[in-house]
Structure 1
Amino acid sequence: MSQNQKITDVLMVGATGSIGQFAVRAAQQHGLRPRALVRDVRRAEQRLPDVELVQGDLEDPASLRRAVGGADAIVLTHGSGADSRPDARAHVDYGGVRNILGALDGARPRVALMTSVYSTRSDIPGNSPWKRRSERLLRASGLPYTIVRPGWFDHAGPTQRRLVLEQGGTADGGIARDQIAETLVRSLLTVTALGKTFELIAAEGVEPSDWVELLGALKPDESGSVDGVLDPADLPVEGEPRALRDDLDAVRLLRGASG
C-alpha cells in the first residue's frame, strides 16, 4: 500500500493476549475495523465478543492466507510467553512473523510489530535473539512498518503517562499495556512513524498531544539494512545459521515479486 492509502481493515495478531486486547480496543476507538487472528474461535468469542474473528495458527502457514487477505494493516503483538517448549520463541516470536509475511502473496499492508525493549541486549543473561531476528524479517520485506520495543509491562505508575521513545537498545523502564497498544495503533496512522524502530517506556508526565512530532523526532532505519538504526553490531547476519539467512533471502524474493 502507499503511504497515503487509507487504513480501515486491520488484522490483529495476538489479539486475545494482554496487549492485543488493548490494541483491538485502540483500533476501534480510532475508527478502524479490526479482525482478530485466533486459533480457537469459540474461546476468543468470550474475550472479543464484538470483533470479527478469523481462524488461523501462526505455525500453520496455509491457515494464514485468508486471515491476511484484504488487510490494510497488521498489528503483531503475539508472543511465546505461555508456551513451555524450549524452541517456542523460534516457532512463535520469529516463525509467526515469517509465516505472516509469506502468506501475503504480494499484498503490501502497513505493519506495526511489537517486540521487546531488550531485543538487541546480548548482555542480559538468558535473553533471546529471536525477536531481533523477527524484526530483521520485517525490514527485509520492504513493507511499510514501525517496530515498537516496549519496556516492562505494567511497571509504570498512574501518573507516568509521558512516553519516552529511545533508539539504540539502551532504554530500560516500565510502560502500561494501554500505552503500548495506543502507540502501535497510532504508528499505523502517523506518517512520521514509517520505517522506524524504537524502545518505548513511560515517565512522569502527561500523554502526548502531537504524535507526528513525537514520532518525527526519531531517526529512520537505514535503507537496505535489516537492523534498526543505532542497533549494536553484535549479531552479524553473515554469522547467523544458514536457515535464518535463507529466510531473509526468501522474504526479499517476496518483496521483488510484489513489485
Structure 2
Amino acid sequence: MEKILVVGATGTTGNKVINELNNQDNFEPVAMVRKEEQQLKFQKQGIQTVLADLSEDVTHVTKGIDKVIFAAGSKGKALETVDRKGAMKIVDASKKHKVHKLVMLSSIGADAPQQSDKLQDYLQAKNDADEYLANSGLDFTIVRPGTLNDEVPTGKIRLATSLDNKKGSIPRGDVAKVLVQSLKDTIARREVFEILNGEQQIDKALDTVASIR
C-alpha cells in the first residue's frame, strides 16, 4: 500500500482527495495540517497526519511518503507563501526523500498568466510552481482544471493537453478523482493536462494520457 501525502488536506478539494484516497485499497492518505485540532479531526477518522505549515520548514513531511498530491491554495490571500513558495518547498522535500511521483493541482490559464486581467498574479504563482516541478527531475502530473464548483460530481470530464475551449467549470469531487487516479505511474508521466466538466468517463479520459513505461 502506498502512502500518499495530501498537502492542503483541510481545504474543500483536499478533503475530497482524502476521502477518495480512503476509499481506495492501494492508497493510504496522510493529511498535512497546520493545527493540532485539525490533526485530531483526521485521527478520529483513522487517517494519519503530519503537522506542518507551508510558510515554515516542511522538509520532514515527505519522510516515509511514496507519493504526494499538492492541493493547497490560499484563494489569493497568500500567493507567494502558499501557492508559489509553498509548492516549491514540497517539491524540494519530495526530492530529498525520493518521492516516486508528485501530482500538482494547478489551474487552466497557468500556462499564459499574462492573458488574464483579474487572475494574473494567481496564475503566475501557479505557473512558477508548475515550472519548478517540471524542472525538478521528479516524476509528476500537473492537472489544470477550470473553475472549481461544489456541484454533485458527474464522473465525466473533458481532457486535453490544451483544451480548445477553456471556459467552464468542474465539480471538486471530479477533480479529486482525477488527482487520485493520476497517482498511477502510467498516467501522464511528466505531463500536463487540462480538464473541465464533460461527457467522457474519467477513466477513459485518463487513458488518453496513459503512458507505457
Instruction: Report the TM-score when normalising by structure 2.
Output: 0.85
Q: How many residues align?
A: 203
Alpha-carbon distance in 1 for matches of 2:51, 2:105? 21
Do the aligned residues in 2 keep the contact of 1:117 with 1:169 (CA within 8 Å)? Answer: no
Alpha-carbon distance in 2 for matches of 1:124, 1:16? 28
1:124 aligned partner, one-letter code:
S
- How far is the alpha carbon of 1:119 from its aligned partner? 1.1
Alpha-carbon distance in 2 for matches of 1:18, 1:209? 23
2:44 matched to which residue of 1?
49
1:108 aligned partner, one-letter code:
V
Do the aligned residues in 2 keep the contact of 1:41 with 1:54 (CA within 8 Å)? Answer: no
SS of residue paired to 1:22? helix
Assess, with a 3 A threshold, how the Cα gap between structure 1 residues 49 and 82 changes in structure 2: closer, same or farther: farther
2:93 matched to which residue of 1?
103
Do the aligned residues in 2 keep the contact of 1:175 with 1:201 (CA within 8 Å)? Answer: yes
- How far is the alpha carbon of 1:206 from its aligned partner? 5.6
2:22 matched to which residue of 1?
28
1:11 aligns with 2:5: yes
- Structure 1 or 2: more strand by fraction: 2
Assess, with a 3 A threshold, how the Cα gap between structure 1 residues 44 and 191 changes in structure 2: closer, same or farther: same
1:143 aligns with 2:133: no
Gap regions ≥5 residues in structure 2: none
Do the aligned residues in 1 keep the contact of 2:159 with 2:205 (CA within 8 Å)? Answer: no
2:161 aligned partner, one-letter code:
Q
1:119 matched to which residue of 2?
110
The 5 Å alignment of 1:87-98 reads 88-98=78-88
1:207 matched to which residue of 2?
201
Instruction: Report the TM-score when normalising by structure 1.
Output: 0.71
2:55 matched to which residue of 1?
59
Alpha-carbon distance in 1 for matches of 2:206, 2:192? 15
The 5 Å alignment of 1:155-234 reads 161-168=155-162, 171-203=166-198, 205=199, 207-210=201-204, 213-216=207-210
1:68 matched to which residue of 2?
62
2:82 aligned partner, one-letter code:
V
Do the aligned residues in 1 keep the contact of 2:62 with 2:99 (CA within 8 Å)? Answer: no
The two structures, once aligned, show a CA RMSD in angstroms of 2.3
Higher-Rg structure is 1
Gap regions ≥5 residues in structure 1: 1-6, 218-259
